[in-house]
Amino acid sequence: GESVGLHLPTLSVQEGDNSIINCAYSNSASDYFIWYKQESGKGPQFIIDIRSNMDKRQGQRVTVLLNKTVKHLSLQIAATQPGDSAVYFCAERERRTGYALNFGKGTSLLVTP
């Protein structure tokens, strides 16, 4: 079936550097994408979303880029802080088939001082 996956399982960055977390998806009909952050012992926390009619969206210190041609999604975190250490999941859905989110496997981001 269709799948959502992440390129790298772990990413280690220095505090203050920029982080880029990547995600590949296979369902070309997906029209909504979300990045979630999950800290240890907590539920997924919404970071930023993007619809398929856009290729870039910016939030506070975060930017999501969507490349529909190659079915690739990325999350950029500027000036990474220790509090950014968590597992990051991309998720997608295809509105035509419903509103259930299809999650990727997750990338663990470790920010070192």
Partner 1 sequence: EPEVTQTPSHQVTQMGQEVILRCVPISNHLYFYWYRQILGQKVEFLVSFYNNEISEKSEIFDDQFSVERPDGSNFTLKIRSTKLEDSAMYFCASSSGASGEQFFGPGTRLTVL
Find the part of the chain contacting partner 1 (CB under 8 A) among 52-60, 63-71, 76-84, 100-108: 100-108
Residue (32 or 61) nearer to partner 1, CB = 32
Told to check if 94 binds partner 1 by CB under 8 A, we report no
What H or E segment, with its residue span, contains residue 7? none
| φ, ψ of residue 96 in degrees (nearest 5) | -60, -35
Residue (30 or 44) nearer to partner 1, CB = 44
Parallel, antiparallel, or unpaired for β 86-93 and 107-112? Answer: antiparallel
Burial of 21 (0-12, 13-18, 19+ CB in 10 A): buried
Told to check if 24 binds partner 1 by CB under 8 A, we report no
Told to check if 41 binds partner 1 by CB under 8 A, we report yes
